[in-house]
Amino acid sequence: MSSPDLEMLRRLLDASPDGHALVRDGEVVWVSAGLARLAGEAQPETLVGKPWLALFEERGFGLPDGHAVVECGLARTGLDPCPVSVDRVEPAGAVAAYRVRDLRTLRTLEDEVLRSGRRLHALNRELAALRERIGREAEERGDLLTVLSHELRTPATVINGYNRLLLSGDVGPLNEKQRHFLSESQKSCRRLDHVLGNLIEAAGKGTATGPLEVRESSIEALFAGLHGMLTALLADRSLRLESDCASHLPRVRFDPRRLEQVLVNLVTNASRFAPPGSAVRLESRAAPRRGRKGLEVAVCDRGPGIAAAERERVFEPYVQGERSRQGGGLGLGLAISRRIVDAHGGAIWVCDDTEPGARVVFWLPAIDPRLEEIR
């Protein structure tokens, strides 16, 4: 080994917290700075030339015999011996290489490992208890969902029955406006019955979406249906519904009933916070996402907006942001909307717009023409 290599090795050993020594015929010929520090010496040269075994005191642990790892005391001038472990790292050859480790540091590390192990064990117990509690809560919510779905289905059926009776004309004539409102009410009852049926089915399967009936559909037609369904509701709150569909939208497939449910959730949420006299706005445009073509739909309002820290958590079940707590609700609408959009292979999020209000956007993938060719 060349002199530069030896000098580099010496520096590495000096930088080590352990002590190192070279011994020939029982006499110390070189020690590292680390061993000098453990022995309480300012300079390593102080120990050179001394008998190797003279550096140690038995201290009840036995002296190092040059071959096995032993624990003993390293002598220090004017101080109690330092408890160390000594092992011979290079047993072959005329010169023996030894490593001396401070047992105080090792035992401190061992104690810390033990404490960390106990903390980890306690955290594992807490995690198991949390999982059990979450499981119980999920089961209770599933039961509640089933009960609510059944209970809501009964009045919805009654309302639908009265709508049919009024529309039949058997209890008196209707003008065109009354017939239109009753027809819209009947459509909403059918939608509600469909949603409740899916909820009952989903409660038993541990999901909140149920089966999708996906087909190539028009977002413009969906917007038009929302205008007929929600205009009266928004008018009661002195709001109006506006929509803007960009031209040349990509072809997409979706379940119209499910996507209508998403839009109703988003528009209803927006209507709770939009100031009177303002508009809840629907927008659609072509937009790529992660290199894939698709359709982006946004629901915008001019309300107080959603805090940046809450823009992801509001999509979790039963989690409500500050504005949701002020506006009421159970914290399920956005969670269900995300599951429906995810089931379509899309994504939903709250935009980081600087304009006032909230802008909730969902994206659906466009139909891949290559798959159309395969068909």
Contact 88, 52 (CB under 8 A): no
pTM of the model: 0.53
The one-letter code for the residue type at 367 is I
C-alpha 151/C-alpha 303 separation (Å) is: 33
Please report where in the chains the tokens 């993938």 appear, as a residue: 365
C-alpha 99/C-alpha 13 separation (Å) is: 10
Backbone angles phi, psi at 283, to 5 degrees: -135, 145
Contact 307, 322 (CB under 8 A): yes
pLDDT reported for residue 118: 87
Backbone angles phi, psi at 69, to 5 degrees: -80, 125
Considering the domain delimited by 215-374, tell me its CATH architecture: 2-Layer Sandwich (3.30)
Question: Is the CATH number 3.30.450.20 carried by domain 3-108?
Answer: yes
C-alpha 240/C-alpha 267 separation (Å) is: 11
pLDDT reported for residue 58: 64
Measure the CA dihedral 250/255/256/257, to 10°: -160
Domain ranges of the chain: 3-108, 215-374
Per DSSP, 251 falls in state P
Angle in degrees, 0-180, between the axes of helices 176-205 and 256-273, rounded to the nearest 10: 110
Per DSSP, 234 falls in state H
Contact 24, 31 (CB under 8 A): no
Q: Measured in Å, how far apart are the chain's first and last C-alpha atoms?
A: 71
Backbone angles phi, psi at 296, to 5 degrees: -110, 130
Distances (CA, A) of 128 to 133, 171, 300: 9, 62, 42
Give every CB contact of residue 174 below 8 A, 6+ residues apart in sequence: 166, 167, 182
Contact 75, 55 (CB under 8 A): yes
> Would you tell me how many other CB atoms lie within 10 Å of the CB of residue 145?
17
Contact 29, 95 (CB under 8 A): yes
C-alpha 211/C-alpha 140 separation (Å) is: 23
Q: Are strands 294-301 and 279-286 parallel, antiparallel or unpaired?
A: antiparallel
| pLDDT (tens place) for every residue of the chain, 375 residues total | 456 666 777 788 877 878 999 988 889 999 998 898 888 888 889 899 999 888 887 654 555 555 567 888 888 877 888 888 888 887 666 788 889 988 888 777 777 888 888 888 888 999 999 998 888 887 777 777 767 776 777 677 778 778 888 888 888 899 988 888 888 888 888 778 767 766 666 555 555 556 788 999 999 999 998 887 887 778 878 999 999 999 899 999 999 989 998 998 899 889 888 999 999 999 999 999 999 999 999 999 999 888 888 898 888 876 766 655 555 555 677 888 899 999 999 999 999 776 788 999 999 999 977 655 545
C-alpha 321/C-alpha 187 separation (Å) is: 32
pLDDT reported for residue 1: 45
E-strand stretches of 182-293: 215-217, 240-245, 252-254, 279-286
Measure the CA dihedral 133/136/140/142, to 10°: 110
Q: Helix, strand, or coil here: 336?
A: helix
Give every CB contact of residue 94 below 8 A, 6+ residues apart in sequence: 24, 25
| Structure tokens given for 135 | 């499981």
Distance of CA 63 to the CA centre of its chain: 56
